[in-house]
Chain A
Amino acid sequence: MIAGLVVLVFSYDTEYNRDSDGYMESLIEFKNISKSFPGVQALADVSISVERNSIHALVGENGAGKTTFINICGGIETKDSGDIFWKGRMVSIRNARDAKELGISVVHQHFPQCLNLTVAQNIFMSEFSETTVGFLNWNTINKRAYDLLSDFGVDLNPAMPLRKLTIAQRQVVEICKALAMDVDLIIMDEPTSALPLKELHSFFEIITRLKKSGMTIIYVSHKLDEIFRIADTITVLRDGREVATVPKADTTPSEIATLMVGRRIEELDEHKKPKRSSARRELLLQVENLQMEQILNGVSLDVEFGEIVGLAGLQGSGCSELLKAVFGLMPYDDGYIYLKGKKLEPDTARDGIDAGIAYVPTDRHVEGLNLIMSVGENIALAEFKKLSTMGVIWKKSIEKIGMRYVEQLDIKSRSVWESVNYLSGGNQQKVVIGKWLATEPVLLLLDDPTRGVDVGAKEEIHKIIRLIVHEGRACVMTSSELPELLLFCDRIVTMYRGSITGSFHADEATEDTIMHYITGAEEIAGGR
């Protein structure tokens, strides 16, 4: 009731402002935009006015309609009804080219890039597309790319093929690509989801600089701390509807979070964190002196039953590689892995699975899901052998295991036979996790399991993992968000350049200390 009232007040407020201020200040205005897909009303009557030279944040859970909204702005999808006003003039955006000609650029979360082309070629790709015939002066182009990148505080060789870059570096390139076009509005979809922590600061600097130079930005994110750091105005979407639009100064993060989920999220409280079951103090996993050339130099790690260990480290620290090596996806040169005291020499994922290990990869689209297959089939993927009798597998057994995890993880899909492609990001991630729970592992290795997942789904995923670990298993995870590790893990192990630099119990760790240990600051201070 109260939430409903708040909504009413807010929507009344925005309506009022719009009428009194007129169109002069808004760069782009959306009026009653609606869009539906088969079975889903993705956007219903959404009206948003974005002021010139402002950072307008768009927040909402997965499935709230943010992506659809972005796609309509960028001309990737067309609206069913409603009007768009650009600089006070009614326009129609039918395709990506229309959007570009108006001066709108979108930086997508899963951005498509040409990995075979160089950094500079990617940045200026859209400029080339306009000159069908013409000569290219690579020196000038590389120079321009270099200037753009150094503005971003990034030292990258513009002639390097994109293939050789990390995901974070590719994202920087993608943002530069938007900057290179002469645009008035940049729409950023979860821009920091792939950025490592140490690049965050320079990223926000860029955003601020962009705004100073007169740019307007629509900033789509789950991360409220980011939004409160940079945004001027915040619009909350829920279930395809605009719930509220408020100036940042007039609201608080917990208020926005409440509006996003429609229920009050309990303040994250240290004391409310469930204590880990201390019934068994047995070692589950022992890693001894694991060596991998250029990546890991002598990593040793012990994990007990019932423990959730967070591996904290920046990109290139070797956290992900350590998980992959234990699971059998990456060969190691030297060292030993013991699981329940038994020596393990995993060569392939099958070895890991058979030993009782599950590995949830970072990138669900590339490494986790078969997007053509259904929810049920994806959940059964690692367990086809066990579900079959003499190689024959019946639909019923897939349906059964699918249903089990759809229910357990509360995956929102119409049936187990729905293609995972149609699910929202959070639900897709739950399918990946379901696939690995189906293998009934004793050890869960989670490589950034909640990347790009909204607050609600994140909480649910945490709850499920906690529950499973309590049943006498263990979990080792990484995260692109340090606070997640601090809040969720029992113990945090820091890594820097392929070595373990520290181990902290959750109570004694703070973001500040951890940051010291994962950036190598501690090593420098220690004079080692």
Chain B
Amino acid sequence: MGHTVDSEKRSDVAMSIFRAKEMGVFIPLVVLVIALAFLAQNFLTQDNIFSVLRAVSFEGIVSIGMLIVMLTAGLDLSVASNMAFTGILASILMTNGIPTFPAIILSLVGSACVGLVNGFLINKVKLGAIIVTLGMLSVVRGLSYIITQGMPIVDLPANFTFLGQGLIGGLVPVPILFYVIISAICHFVLKYTVLGYHFFSVGGNETASRYSGINVERVRYFSYLICSVFAGIGGLLLIARLGVAQPSIAVGYELSIIAAVIIGGASLQGGEGSVLGAVIGVLIIGVIRNGLVLMNIGGFYIQFANGMMILAAVIINRLRGIRA
């Protein structure tokens, strides 16, 4: 008896994996990887795989935050500016004698403030998310330029740059570890916590959520807060990787981040999407970028390919019945 139940369960699991929404993007990723394995030498080498994974970690972490905002039917265009802002904040603190760990915490508080302002303007002043975060995109980027006067900050402490450049066990780059941990935590939060359900619920039907006793405003605050803090973490890691804090880093990243989340099956109208999908979306973009470089196809094509990928993903999602 126990055996049959077990085997039934196993086939259930197999079926649910096959039926999962993420399969729609996972298959293209696999096809892409297989194609590049043939087309581009060095693609499937250990070095290259880790370098691709590291390269996507920064945007990947931010895309998880973006996913959460988009689940609530919001959007955060200020993430890329926030990445630079947080990195610069930390760099200034560190080069002025504050130890690495407190500097990181303080700078993340700074990034959280950006999220709170976003949340406040959207919740209380009832402005549209796109307008608010478009404004904050410029405000925060401008702040970074003002603080640094446009000059790069160098001589960052080694224990900080380790976060971006270091390897664990001489093999796995540290940012990948951060990405994996954050993704795992958020996967759990979205699937198995009240807060996670509330994100889906608010995005799916705000009125029904409010009538069901859900504090919609608080849920929205949380989403922008989480997104901003993740943008901060992504920015810190990126600057640690580069070793230099420039106010101009990550310009335009918000678009590829949003693209990755959408490729991963999220809907701009909220209520749909998953961490797994967002991760696959980020990987697809990263793999295309890497493949084009390896095949010596110029940078001009990368943007074109990204665009095609977004359109293809949205079309596929539409065909599969997800609202894009």
A residues lining the B interface (CB < 8 Å) = 329, 348-350, 352-354, 359, 361, 366-373, 377, 380-382, 384-385, 388, 391-395, 435
Per the bound structure, the CA–CA distance linking A367 and B206 in Å amounts to: 8
Chain B interface helix/strand/loop/mixed:
helix
Nearest A residue (CB) for B272: A372
Known: A392-B192, A393-B192, A394-B192. A381 touches B215 (CB 8 A): no
**Contact of B208 with A349 in the complex, beta carbons under 8 Å:** no
**Contact of B213 with A352 in the complex, beta carbons under 8 Å:** yes
In the assembled complex, how far is the CB of residue B70 from the closest CB belonging to chain A, in whole angstroms? 13
Interface residues of B in 164-210 (CB under 8 A from A): 192-195, 197-198, 200-201, 204-205, 207-210
Size bracket, chain B contacts: 20 to 34
20 new A-B contacts at CB < 8 Å, known A353-B213, A373-B271: A350-B213, A354-B213, A366-B208, A367-B208, A367-B211, A369-B205, A370-B200, A373-B201, A373-B204, A377-B200, A380-B197, A381-B208, A382-B213, A384-B194, A384-B198, A388-B193, A388-B194, A391-B194, A391-B195, A435-B212
Choose from A349, A354, A385, A392 the contact partner of B211 (Cβ within 8 Å).
A349
Per the bound structure, the CA–CA distance linking A361 and B207 in Å amounts to: 10
Chain B residues within 8 Å of A384, by CB: 194, 197-198
Total of A-B residue pairs, C-beta within 8 Å:
77
Per the bound structure, the CA–CA distance linking A195 and B95 in Å amounts to: 70
**Contact of B211 with A350 in the complex, beta carbons under 8 Å:** no
Chain B residues within 8 Å of A359, by CB: 211
**Contact of A370 with B213 in the complex, beta carbons under 8 Å:** no
**Contact of B197 with A377 in the complex, beta carbons under 8 Å:** yes
Choose from B194, B201, B207, B215 the contact partner of A393 (Cβ within 8 Å).
B194
In the assembled complex, how far is the CB of residue B271 from the closest CB belonging to chain A, in whole angstroms? 4
Chain B residues within 8 Å of A361, by CB: 211
Interface residues of B in 64-102 (CB under 8 A from A): none
Chain A residues within 8 Å of B207, by CB: 366-367
Known: A348-B215, A371-B205. A393 touches B197 (CB 8 A): yes
Per the bound structure, the CA–CA distance linking A350 and B215 in Å amounts to: 8
Chain A residues within 8 Å of B193, by CB: 388, 391-393
**Contact of A373 with B213 in the complex, beta carbons under 8 Å:** no
**Contact of A370 with B209 in the complex, beta carbons under 8 Å:** yes
Choose from B192, B195, B210, B271 the contact partner of A372 (Cβ within 8 Å).
B271
Among A366, A371, A392, the most chain B Cβ lie within 10 Å of the Cβ of A392
Nearest B residue (CB) for A387: B194
Chain B residues within 8 Å of A388, by CB: 193-194
**Contact of A385 with B194 in the complex, beta carbons under 8 Å:** yes
Per the bound structure, the CA–CA distance linking A235 and B258 in Å amounts to: 51
**Contact of B200 with A381 in the complex, beta carbons under 8 Å:** no
Known: A350-B215, A353-B213, A382-B213. A370 touches B208 (CB 8 A): yes
Nearest B residue (CB) for A365: B205
Chain A residues within 8 Å of B271, by CB: 370, 372-373
Per the bound structure, the CA–CA distance linking A370 and B205 in Å amounts to: 5
Per the bound structure, the CA–CA distance linking A393 and B197 in Å amounts to: 9
Chain B residues within 8 Å of A393, by CB: 192-194, 197
**Contact of A381 with B212 in the complex, beta carbons under 8 Å:** yes
Chain A residues within 8 Å of B208, by CB: 366-370, 381
**Contact of B195 with A371 in the complex, beta carbons under 8 Å:** no
Nearest B residue (CB) for A378: B208
Choose from B192, B198, B204, B209 the contact partner of A371 (Cβ within 8 Å).
B204
In the assembled complex, how far is the CB of residue B318 from the closest CB belonging to chain A, in whole angstroms? 15
Chain A residues within 8 Å of B198, by CB: 384
In the assembled complex, how far is the CB of residue B157 from the closest CB belonging to chain A, in whole angstroms? 36
Chain B residues within 8 Å of A380, by CB: 197
Chain B residues within 8 Å of A391, by CB: 193-195
In the assembled complex, how far is the CB of residue B219 from the closest CB belonging to chain A, in whole angstroms? 11
List 16 A-B pairs, Cβ < 8 Å: A329-B210, A329-B211, A348-B213, A349-B213, A349-B214, A350-B214, A350-B215, A354-B213, A371-B204, A373-B271, A381-B201, A381-B209, A382-B214, A384-B194, A384-B198, A392-B194
**Contact of B211 with A370 in the complex, beta carbons under 8 Å:** no
Nearest B residue (CB) for A390: B193
Among A361, A371, A381, the most chain B Cβ lie within 10 Å of the Cβ of A381
Per the bound structure, the CA–CA distance linking A385 and B197 in Å amounts to: 10
In the assembled complex, how far is the CB of residue A285 from the closest CB belonging to chain B, in whole angstroms? 19
In the assembled complex, how far is the CB of residue A372 from the closest CB belonging to chain B, in whole angstroms? 4
Chain B residues within 8 Å of A329, by CB: 210-211
Per the bound structure, the CA–CA distance linking A394 and B207 in Å amounts to: 25
Chain B residues within 8 Å of A382, by CB: 212-214
Chain A residues within 8 Å of B209, by CB: 370, 381
**Contact of B195 with A373 in the complex, beta carbons under 8 Å:** no
Chain A residues within 8 Å of B197, by CB: 377, 380-381, 384, 393
Closest 3 CB pairs of A and B: A370-B204, A382-B212, A350-B213
In the assembled complex, how far is the CB of residue A329 from the closest CB belonging to chain B, in whole angstroms? 7
Nearest B residue (CB) for A353: B213
Per the bound structure, the CA–CA distance linking A350 and B219 in Å amounts to: 14
Per the bound structure, the CA–CA distance linking A18 and B267 in Å amounts to: 50
Per the bound structure, the CA–CA distance linking A384 and B272 in Å amounts to: 19
Interface residues of B in 270-307 (CB under 8 A from A): 271-272
Chain A residues within 8 Å of B210, by CB: 329, 348-349
Nearest B residue (CB) for A363: B207
Nearest B residue (CB) for A354: B213
Query: Could you mark each residue 24-47 of chain B with 1 if its beta carbon is under 8 Å from any beta carbon of chain A, else 0?
Result: 000000000000000000000000
Nearest B residue (CB) for A382: B212
**Contact of A368 with B211 in the complex, beta carbons under 8 Å:** yes
Per the bound structure, the CA–CA distance linking A395 and B272 in Å amounts to: 18
Per the bound structure, the CA–CA distance linking A366 and B197 in Å amounts to: 19
In the assembled complex, how far is the CB of residue B184 from the closest CB belonging to chain A, in whole angstroms? 14
Chain A residues within 8 Å of B200, by CB: 370, 372-373, 377
Per the bound structure, the CA–CA distance linking A487 and B214 in Å amounts to: 35
Among A352, A373, A384, the most chain B Cβ lie within 10 Å of the Cβ of A384
Chain A residues within 8 Å of B215, by CB: 348, 350
Chain B residues within 8 Å of A381, by CB: 197, 201, 208-209, 212, 214
Nearest A residue (CB) for B269: A372
Choose from B192, B194, B195, B201 the contact partner of A370 (Cβ within 8 Å).
B201
Nearest A residue (CB) for B217: A348
Nearest B residue (CB) for A329: B211
Per the bound structure, the CA–CA distance linking A477 and B207 in Å amounts to: 20
Per the bound structure, the CA–CA distance linking A381 and B207 in Å amounts to: 12
Interface residues of B in 121-162 (CB under 8 A from A): none
Per the bound structure, the CA–CA distance linking A377 and B199 in Å amounts to: 13
Chain A residues within 8 Å of B195, by CB: 391
Per the bound structure, the CA–CA distance linking A348 and B195 in Å amounts to: 18
Per the bound structure, the CA–CA distance linking A155 and B1 in Å amounts to: 71
Chain B residues within 8 Å of A394, by CB: 192
Among A361, A370, A385, A395, the most chain B Cβ lie within 10 Å of the Cβ of A370
